[in-house]
Structure formats: structure tokens, C-alpha cells
Amino acid sequence: MKSQKPIFVLLCLLLTGCWDQHLLKNAVLVQILSLDLTDNEDLLLGVSIPIIEEAAGGPQALVKSETFSAKGHTPRDSRRKIDREISGILDTSKNKLILFGEQMAASGIYPPLDVIWRDPRNSLGATLGVVEGEAVNLLNITPKHETNVSEYIQDALTSAEENSIIPNQTIQTLASEMLDPGEDIVLPYLKINNKKSAVVVGLALMNEKKYVRSISPQDSTLLLLLNNKKGKYARFTKQVNNDEEQKLKNYITFNVHKMKRKLKVQVKNGEVSVNIYSHLKINVEEYPKGDVPKEIDHLNEALSKELTKEANQVVTKLQQSNCDVFGIGRRLIALHPKTWDMLDKKDYFKNIKFKTNVKVEIIKNGIVL
């Protein structure tokens, strides 16, 4: 019948056309992306894909990793070349880790990341990292206790986050900070150890999306505390005495339990000065000398002095690298817009006068004195 023709046509279209199908069984998932700069300024893209082996005994299948890499002008260009080597379609929607080699990071991380934001299927919960040397080498490590490289690195980063060595951020939370003229970002810095493990050695300081230098783990923790971004734990081991025979007894290990930070920006005649005051309430975890309450005042004073000195060193390093991680520039734009207009947008951070003060207070010391 005539009136049934349109229904037939529609049905045929519905049943045959599944234009947007991305079948899971045909997709090859990318777990880590690595970006490196080659000698002639081209891009070296590395991908790590999981290999699932059938579960012989037990419900969970064993997952291993395999690495592929290719050179190209842009990330997508290189990806097409890798696609030709792989059976199946490369799919980055589950990519959780993007690593930059040192050189690549130094020349600017924002442009290669454009494709991540542009494609709707990409995961915006990925973490970024900078690797010493070439990032591709990190994909080839073979740790023994965890067969899948992506799992291994992600877990390492998660535990570093808990220990306040690196901040908790994803590529989306970084986006606005990257584009903000008054703020700079810091990324985790990783090192390869004997081809068997990856070590998170602290933070990489970035100046306007370009990598400058890295800082040590203890400095990283201190920096995060100064920036009011404490993770679950923040542990330090510091020297408080220097006259004990056994060297061990000169040190104290503590965990920051609670902290309060005050940051004040003052503007006088076009000169910007910043006061950072941080009050740390700590939990003594290890004091080989013993008997904390007897020396509590001495310890508080010594630790405050030590941490203040180190904080000043950290701030100096920041200023030398021109990395405005505190977002002072953003505060100026928001609260002192006229002053901001007068300042040099690129180097304003170097000319700011910082005064840092850290006060330490011991509140707990475990179940013995």
C-alpha cells in the first residue's frame, strides 16, 4: 500500500545504517601517549597498548603492554602512521596518561595538546607528566610486580599525589590555568631507573607552557603546602640537632596534619609585594632521640626556622624560572586591575618581593612520648 512506503524506507534506513558504530571488539585502546622532539624538530609519538591474555586459571585476564612509535609533524599525523602497523583501530578514548620528553616540554606543551581538546571522544581526565630524557623510553620499561606499564605509572602518580609531591590535576583543570596570563602550572617530573621502574622525582616548573626546571621531592611538597594544596600526607625528614653521636638521632620525621595558609598581596606605587604565612600543625612520626614533649619548644623553633629558610629557597627558584604557581598575576587582574595593566606581562613575577614565613607546631607524637 502506498501509505506504508515511507515506513518501509525508514525501517530500512534504521536497520542498515549504524553510521557511528565503534565496536568495542575492533578497537585497540591506547593507554599512554608519549610526545618527544626528534633531532630535526619533528614529533615522535609513542603509544602503549594493552595486550590481554586469556585467563588460564582465575577470573582476571593478564594484561601486558606493547609499545609502538612513529614520527610525524603533528600528533594526529604520527598516529595515522602507527595505525598502519596495528590490527584494529587505534582509539584514544581511554587514554589516561600523556608524557612529554624534556625537550618537547621545553618547546611548549600547549600546541600538541590541541587535538586532545578538539576530539569529543577523548578523555579529559588524563594526567600530564614530564620525563627526563626521552618519554618513549619510559613506555618500554618492564617492572616485575605490575605487568601493565600504564597501570604502574598511574599508580605511582596516585601515591605521589597522596603524599603531596604532585598536585591533583587533570588536563581539563590545567586548561584554564595554562591559558591564564597570570598563572603558571607545575607538572609531575618522572625519571627512569634502570629500565625497570619509574620514579616520581618531584615537580617540573613551567613558564608559560614551557618547561624550565625540576625541583626535588621535598621542595615539591613544600611548594604544594605553600600553595595550599595538601594531599593526604605531607612528610618531611629534617635535621634538628647536630651534636648527637649517632647521626640518626639528629633527625625528625613528621607529617603535616593540618595547615593554614595566608597569602596577602600588597601594592604600593606599582610595586607588588606578597606575604605568605603558613601555620603547620604536625604529627611527629619518628624521633630517634626520644621524648618529644621535653624538647617541644626547641623542635618547633628549629623546624620553623628550617622550613622558612627552605621556603625562601623554593620561592627564589620559582622566581628564577618565572613560574607563577601561586597565581599572583590572576589576583592582580582581579583585585588590582590598574596595577596589572602597568606591569610587564611576561616578567612581572621576577620583580615581586616575597616574604615567606612558616610556623610549625607539634600537636601529636604517636602513642609514646
Partner 1 sequence: MKFINLALKKVMKRDIQPVSSNQNSISFKEVFHTIDENISFFKQTFSYSADLMIKELNERNKRGILVFLDTMVDKDKIQTDIVKPMMEVEDTQFEGVLHTNLLKSDNLFKAQEALLNGSCIVLLDGAKEFSMVEVGLSKERTIMEPSNEQVIQGSHEGFIENLSTNLHLIRKSCRTVNLTMEYLTVGDQIQSKIAMVYMKQLANNEMINEFKRRVHHISMDYIPSTGALQELIEDSTWSPFPQILSTERIDRVVSHLNEGRVAVLMEGYPAGLIIPVTFFAFFHSPDDYNSRWMIGTFIRSLRLVSIFIAVNLPAIYIAVIGFHFEVLPDDLVLPVVSSIKNIPFPPLIEALVMELTIELIREAGVRLPSRIGQTIGIVGGLVIGDAVVRAGLISNTMIVVVAITAIAAYSIPTTEMSNAVRFLRFPHMILASTFGFVGITFGFMFTLAHLCRLESFGTAYFAPWAPFRLKDMKDTFIRLPLWKFNSRPLDSKPNTLKKQSLARGWDRNETKQE
Partner 2 sequence: MKQNKNRITNKQLVFMIIQAQIGVGILSLPHDVALLAKQDGWISTLLAGIISQAIIFAFWGLSRRFPSSSLYEILPKLLGKVVGKVLILSYALYFMVTGSLVLARYSDILDKWILPRTPNWITMVLILITCIYIVNAGLTSIARFYVLVSPILFVLLVLIVYAMKDANFLYIFPVGGHSILTILKGSKEAAFSMLGFELFLFIHPYVQASGKEKLIAITTANIFVTFYYTFLVFAALVYFEPNIDIGLTPEPLLYMIKAYSFQVLERTDLFFLSLWLVVVATSIANWLFLSSMGLASLFRKKHYAGCLPIVAGVNLILALLPDQGRDFEHFNHFLGPTHYIFIGIIPILLLILSWVFSKKEVVNNL
Contact between 57 and partner 1 by CB under 8 A: the answer reads no
Cell 624538647 -> residue: 295
Out of 42, 146, 180, 286, which residue is the one contacting partner 2 (CB under 8 A)? 180
| Per-position x/- string for 101-120, each x denoting binding to partner 2 as judged by CB under 8 A, each - no binding | -------------------x
29 counts as binding partner 2 under rule CB under 8 A: no
Position among 170, 216, 218, 308 found at the interface with partner 2 (CB under 8 A): 170
Using CB under 8 A as the binding rule, whether residue 55 contacts partner 1 is answered as yes
**Closest among 206, 184, 210, 226 to 345, alpha carbons compared:** 184
Q: Which of 50, 75, 182, 217 binds partner 1 (CB under 8 A)?
A: 50
- Interface with partner 1 (CB under 8 A), residue from 8, 23, 144, 145: 23
CB of 44 to partner 1, least distance (A): 26
Residue with cell 614520527: 71
| By the rule CB under 8 A, 194 interacts with partner 1 | no
Please check whether residue 82 is in contact with residue 68, taking contact to mean a CB–CB distance below 8 angstroms: yes
94 makes contact with partner 1 (CB under 8 A)? yes
Query: Of residues 12, 124, 363, 369, which one binds partner 2 by CB under 8 A?
Result: 124
Asked if 91 touches partner 2 (CB under 8 A), the answer is no
Rounded least distance, CB 306 to partner 2, Å: 32
Contact between 335 and partner 2 per CB under 8 A: yes
Query: Which of 15, 17, 23, 145 is the binder for partner 2 (CB under 8 A)?
Result: 17
Contact of 36 with 135, CB cutoff 8 Å: yes
Structural contact between residues 54 and 64, judged by C-beta atoms closer than 8 angstroms: no
Among 1, 8, 20, 242, interactor with partner 2 by CB under 8 A: 20
Looking at the Cβ atoms of 27 and 175, the one nearer to partner 2 is 175
Distance CA 252, CA 290 (A): 10
Question: How many residues sit close enough to partner 2 to count as binding (CB under 8 A)?
Answer: 27
Number of neighbouring beta carbons within 10 Å of residue 280: 24
Q: Which is nearer to partner 2, 85 or 341 (CB)?
A: 341
Q: Is 342 in the site for partner 2 (CB under 8 A)?
A: no
Q: Residue 313: phi, psi to the nearest 5?
A: -65, -40
Using CB atoms within 10 Å of the CB of residue 176, give its burial: 0 to 12 exposed, 13 to 18 middle, 19+ buried. exposed
Q: Residue 41, interface with partner 1 (CB under 8 A)?
A: no
Stretch in the footprint of partner 2 (CB under 8 A) among 16-24, 159-167, 236-244, 307-315: 16-24
Closest CA to 283 of 251, 257, 260: 257
- What does residue 231 show for φ and ψ, rounded to 5 degrees? -85, -150
Tell me which residues touch partner 2 (CB under 8 A).
Answer: 10, 13, 17, 19-20, 93, 120-121, 123-125, 170, 172-173, 175-177, 179-181, 327, 330-331, 333-335, 337
Binding residues (CB under 8 A) for partner 1: these are 1, 3-4, 6-7, 14-15, 17-18, 20-25, 27, 29, 50, 52, 54-55, 60-61, 63, 93-94, 96, 121, 123
